[in-house]
Amino acid sequence: MVSSDFSASQEEMIAERIPLGSRDACVKLLIPLNKCRVESMYLPWKCEEERHAYEKCEYHLFLRRMKKMQELRQRDTQLQPATN
């Protein structure tokens, strides 16, 4: 799963030129993936392990967001008064 040790410092993200939209809990996996991509000239069969680790992390973040949204929706429906 995603833990706090996957986060990078602000200085690291700036130095690696990570876009703002990609600065999430998986950024620590994106940095080596981007380095590998540049070194291998973006060949699709290279960097498979790095890409898989990053995509798995992003998927777990997605699942966590969906679970949180579902919990919020359930809570909201429980708090709304019943209408006649």
Assess whether pLDDT exceeds 70 at residue 6. Answer: no
pLDDT of residue 81: 73
How would you write 10-57 as a 3-class SS string?
HHHHHHCCCCHHHCCCCHHHHHHHHHHHHHCCCCCCCCHHHHHHHHHH
Nearest-5° Cα angle at 42, 39 to 44: 125
Nearest-CA neighbor of 34 among 45, 42, 26? 42
The predicted-structure confidence for 34-69, as pLDDT tens digits, reads as follows: 999 999 999 999 999 999 999 999 999 999 999 999
